[in-house]
Structure formats: C-alpha cells, structure tokens
Amino acid sequence: MQFQVPQFIETEDKIVGPLTLKQFVYVAIGAGISFFLFFYFNLWLWAFSVVLINTATISLAFIKINGIPLPKIATAAIGYFWKPKFYLWKKTNIPAPKIEKRAAAMEEEAKVNPLNDIWQKLLTSKAPIPTREKTTRPALFDQFKSHQEKYEVFRKITGEKEMARRIDYK
C-alpha cells in the first residue's frame, strides 16, 4: 500500500489569490478600519491615519525577519517587556590560584612522579627527549648482514626506530 507524503509542509496555502489566510485577514482588518474611519474623521486626518494603519497592516502581513513573521516577533517583544524579570546571582569568593604557586606545585608533582615530568616535557618541549627514544641493538643488525637482502632502519612518526626489508623495484 502506498501513501502520499506531503512535501512542502512549512509553506502556507494561498487561499485568496496570492495571499495566505493570515495575510488576507491582516489586510482586510486594515481596510475595514480605514473604511470606518472615513466616516468619523476629516479628510486630512483620515488620510494620515490610513497611511499609518495600512503601513502597519501590510508590514504585519508581509515582512519576515530572518524567516520569522513580524507578528511572532512583535508577540515575543511584548511578552519580554510585559513579563516580570527576576535575576538571581550569588557571588562566591573563590581566590584565583597564582601562577607561581601553580608552577611550584607542578615542579613538586614532577619530583614525586617522573612520568608526569616526561609528559610535561613531551607536551611543552620542541627538542626530542632522549629518555623516551629506543636504542637499536647492534646484535639485531649483525644477524641480517650475512643475507643478500638489504635492510634499512627508518624512524616512525612517533620517533621510534624500526628496521624493515628494503625492496628496490627496478
């Protein structure tokens, strides 16, 4: 059994010509207010109020800011200014650690645990650390000299040396 899946669920349906129902209601309300004000105001006052009312209704109907319709933004703004605000902040007095005390504590910790000292040097130094590099044993090289194959020592990215058979493709 096949079902038809709606594809454009975020777009509103055009009810009255090119207008959606909400847009039509905003424009109709503005036109209705302008029509009734024609009978109560003088011509110059009516023209001024029509310009203001129609500008407001057209902007409510058509303007979107960052994809959000203007009525939603206006509702959020009114709610922000109307609702009471309550801010609670408790200050805690925590003294900031001094750099000299930190450095002294790190040196003391390095004396207690030598791995921390090596780890700190590994993270902060630019020069290689000789204590962490493996040394190659000479006996390892001697057992391969008797064969005709060529072996070569290379250094990995991590810094340790390793030996592998060299193959020349010629």
How many Cβ atoms from other residues are within 10 Å of residue 34's Cβ? 18
pLDDT given at position 110: 59
**Within its chain, how far is the Cα of 169 from the centroid?**
50
Q: What is the pTM of this model?
A: 0.46
Reported as a single tens digit per residue, the pLDDT across 79-96 is 999 988 777 777 777 666
**Strand positions, DSSP E, the chain:** 14-16, 19-20, 64-65, 68-69, 150-155, 161-166
Task: Give the integer Cα–Cα distance in Å for 54 and 139.
Answer: 96
Average pLDDT over residues 138-147: 53
Residues facing residue 150 across a β-bridge: 166
Secondary structure (3-state) at 64: strand
Domain definitions of the chain by residue range: 14-82, 97-129, 133-170
